[in-house]
């Protein structure tokens, strides 16, 4: 499961190395910030007791500590399936089905779930700090404003001298009323 921005190749390679048939690979190409993922839901519906689920890393189950633990519980306890986390061989529910094995698996799961959520929090904080630093340096975000039409200055003067309405001025410049008005205000501040 990957977002639009992610390249899912590393996950597909890992799954193909296990000789998993293409028809048994489920992938969502939308944000994983919540569990509104149709392919994931389809996968969970199709899984039956004693099936085996391979996932590349624990954060594929959810985006925070609680979500990961809840999905793990649903899959292993309610559905009765086994899970193998390829990036963390300790998380393989096929091994150690006794009390000690379950206990160790649960501890590792809780630690990794915490680490996954903590990393997401850190990423968001670093992004916010980076954006704030860039803004402090004067970096402008977003698309640059479109240049004013050649007739803007003349139309603006006619509008300010009440020779045309705001709507007529905006139409003459080929822009929406709100855009004309905000550009006029900015233009007046410059003068």
The pLDDT of residue 118: 84
Query: Is residue 85 located within the same domain as residue 17?
Result: yes
Residue closest to 35 by CA, chosen among 66, 9, 8, 6: 66
Q: Could you state, in chain order, the average pLDDT of each consecutive group of 10 residues for the chain (191 residues)? A: 51 71 68 66 88 83 80 87 84 75 75 80 89 89 87 93 94 93 86 58
| 147 inside domain | no
Q: Domains in the chain: how many in total?
A: 2
Query: Is residue 118 located within the same domain as residue 164?
Result: no
Specify whether the CB–CB gap between 83 and 72 falls below 8 A.
yes
User: How far is residue 136's CA from residue 138's CA, in Å, rounded to a whole number?
Assistant: 5
The pLDDT of residue 5: 42
The pLDDT of residue 3: 42
Catalytic choice (2, 105, 113, 182): 2
Q: Is this structure's pTM higher than 0.75?
A: no
Query: Is residue 124 located within the same domain as residue 156?
Result: no
Query: Is residue 129 located within the same domain as residue 156?
Result: no
3-state SS record for 29-42? CCCCCCCCCHHHHH
Q: What is the largest CA-CA distance in the chain?
A: 87
By CB neighbour count within 10 A (0-12 exposed, 13-18 middle, 19+ buried), where does 57 fall?
A: middle
| 184 inside domain | yes
The pLDDT of residue 186: 87
Active site residue 2: yes
User: How far is residue 28's CA from residue 94's CA, in Å, rounded to a whole number?
Assistant: 26
The pLDDT of residue 179: 92
């Amino acid at each position: 499961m990957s977002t639009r921005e992610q390249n899912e190749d590393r996950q597909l390679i890992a799954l193909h190395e296990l000789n998993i048939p293409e028809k048994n690979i489920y992938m969502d190409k939308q944000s994983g910030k919540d569990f509104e993922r149709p392919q994931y839901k389809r996968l969970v519906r199709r899984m039956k007791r004693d099936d085996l689920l391979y996932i590349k890393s624990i954060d594929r189950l959810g985006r925070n500590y609680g979500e990961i633990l809840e999905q793990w519980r649903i899959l292993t306890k309610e559905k009765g399936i086994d899970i193998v986390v390829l990036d963390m061989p300790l998380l393989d529910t096929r091994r150690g089905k006794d009390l000690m094995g379950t206990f160790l698996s649960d501890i590792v799961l809780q630690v990794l779930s915490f680490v996954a959520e903590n990393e997401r929090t850190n990423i968001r904080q670093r992004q916010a700090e980076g954006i704030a630093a860039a803004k402090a340096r004067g970096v402008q975000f977003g698309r640059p404003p479109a240049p004013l039409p050649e007739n803007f200055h003349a139309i603006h003067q006619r509008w300010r001298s009440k020779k045309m309405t705001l709507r007529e001025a905006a139409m003459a410049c080929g822009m929406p009323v709100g855009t004309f008005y905000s550009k006029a205000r900015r233009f007046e501040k410059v003068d």
